[in-house]
């Protein structure tokens, strides 16, 4: 039996369309939603991510600024740029594309952001609000996960969600989001990580299995409960001579085998990836609405 394919591309397009309606309502009130992207250095992957985000802004009707300091910018100068963007009333959201060069402490930069403009939802104040269930700017990748599930006609409430990965960007915020007593949440959540003993015995308990590991095809069919919903967050490059760039992108899940066991599954690409950008649009509109 082949699983239902969760179409992240289509769901992300639906969410961007909703954000566009909200952005145009703001424009009618004279508020032009604006996202400032800070891209330090010339990491090609970061450039591509920021390019995708700016294209989405254009589609949704969000103005975007691009700030491109060179990789040797001092920490003090980068913090001064953040201060300027924090103080600029025309800027509603600030996105600092990670990773930053080694000589810059990412935590310090994130902590310098005005929490109300932290559209990635990484500032400790926003993380804290998420943990205690207050309204906040939620980290984009985890926030996209319940949207994918619920908009595919599937249930989150009451389900046992097993997450593999405990990063601050995906695993932990996904846990904090899905455990809340709220719509699209209210799940029983288990978090597994590199210190977990006998991982397959735990992943097999998941009605919903979320893989955020960063290892190609790590989740095999025997690790999945029959009928489970499988959300693959991973983006990994594997060599592929037939591809133009010499590689292709695959998830953390062995898609071809797991789709025969799962009830529903996200592809890579075209699953979680487009949702991350769509949720950034939602957060930017939300930040602009709050002004
Ligand atoms: P990370 O490296 O910060 O965290 C990986 C986690 O996996 C760690 O918490 C670690 O404990 C766990 N892990 C590693 N090996 C394990 C093992 N053998 N068994 C159990 N757990 C293990 O990575 P991240 O930032 O959370 O990203 C995870 C993946 O998701 C990456 O492939 C990344 O590229 C991708 N990602 C995708 C998006 C998107 O928009 N689709 C966004 C963020 C991250």
Strands 247-250 and 236-239: antiparallel
Cite the active site residues.
Answer: 53, 97, 120
pLDDT tens digit string along 237-271?
999 999 999 999 999 999 999 999 999 999 999 99
Closest atom of ligand 1 to 170 CA is 26
Using CA atoms, how far apart are residues 279 and 169, in angstroms rounded to an integer? 14
Length of the chain: 291
Minimum CA distance residue for ligand 1 atom 22: 194
pLDDT tens digit string along 175-225?
999 999 999 999 999 999 999 999 999 999 999 999 999 999 999 999 999
Predicted pLDDT of residue 1: 58
Architecture of the domain spanning 30-114: 3-Layer(aba) Sandwich (3.40)
> What percent of the chain has pLDDT above 70?
100
pLDDT tens digit string along 123-158?
999 999 999 999 999 999 999 999 999 999 999 999
Predicted pLDDT of residue 263: 98
Residues whose beta carbon lies within 6 Å of some atom of ligand 1: 141, 164-167, 169-171, 192-194, 196, 199, 212-215, 233-236, 272-273, 276
- Is residue 226 over pLDDT 70? yes
Predicted pLDDT of residue 242: 95
Using CA atoms, how far apart are residues 101 and 6, in angstroms rounded to an integer? 35
Extract long-range pairs of 117-120: CB within 8 Å, 24+ residues apart. Answer: 117/85, 117/86, 117/91, 117/92, 117/93, 117/287, 118/94, 119/35, 119/93, 119/94, 119/95, 119/280, 119/283, 119/284, 119/287, 120/95, 120/96, 120/280, 120/283
Minimum CA distance residue for ligand 1 atom 30: 234
- Is residue 19 over pLDDT 70? yes
Q: What angle do CA 217, 218, 223 make, to 5 degrees?
A: 115
Contact 203, 193 (CB under 8 A): no
91 alpha carbon – ligand 1 mean position (Å): 31
Mean pLDDT, residues 51-76 taken together: 98
Neighbours of 213 (CB within 10 A): 24
Return the domain boundaries, the chain. Answer: 30-114, 139-273
Check if 30-114 and 139-273 are the same fold. Answer: yes
212 alpha carbon – ligand 1 mean position (Å): 4
The overall pTM is greater than 0.85: yes
- Fold that domain 139-273 belongs to in CATH: Rossmann fold (3.40.50)
178 alpha carbon – ligand 1 mean position (Å): 18
Average pLDDT value over all residues in the chain: 97
């Amino acid at each position: 039996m082949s699983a239902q394919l969760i179409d992240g591309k289509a769901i992300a397009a639906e969410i961007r369309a909703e954000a566009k309606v909200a952005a145009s309502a703001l424009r009618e009130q004279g508020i032009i939603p604006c996202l400032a992207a800070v891209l330090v250095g010339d990491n090609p992957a970061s450039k591509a991510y920021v390019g995708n985000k700016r294209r989405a802004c254009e589609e949704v009707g969000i103005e975007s600024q691009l700030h491109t300091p060179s990789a040797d910018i001092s920490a003090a100068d980068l913090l001064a740029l953040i201060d300027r963007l924090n103080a600029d009333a025309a800027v509603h959201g600030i996105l600092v594309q990670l990773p930053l060069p080694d000589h810059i402490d990412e935590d310090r930069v994130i902590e310098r952001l005005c929490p109300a403009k932290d559209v990635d939802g990484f500032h400790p104040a926003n993380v804290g609000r998420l943990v205690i269930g207050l309204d906040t700017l939620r980290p984009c990748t985890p926030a996209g996960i319940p949207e994918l599930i619920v908009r595919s006609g599937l249930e989150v409430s009451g389900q046992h969600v097993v997450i593999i990965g405990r990063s601050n960007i995906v695993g932990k915020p996904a846990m904090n989001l899905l455990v809340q007593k709220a719509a699209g949440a209210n799940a029983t959540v288990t978090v597994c990580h590199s210190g977990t003993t006998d991982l397959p015995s735990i992943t097999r308990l998941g009605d919903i299995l979320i893989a955020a590991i960063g290892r190609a095809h790590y989740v095999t069919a025997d690790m999945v409960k029959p009928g489970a919903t499988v959300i693959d967050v991973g983006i990994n490059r594997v060599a592929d001579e037939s591809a133009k760039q010499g590689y292709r992108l695959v998830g953390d899940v062995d898609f071809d085998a797991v789709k025969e066991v799962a009830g529903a599954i996200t592809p890579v690409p075209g699953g979680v990836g487009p949702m991350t950008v769509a949720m950034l649009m939602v957060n930017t509109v939300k930040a602009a609405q709050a002004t």
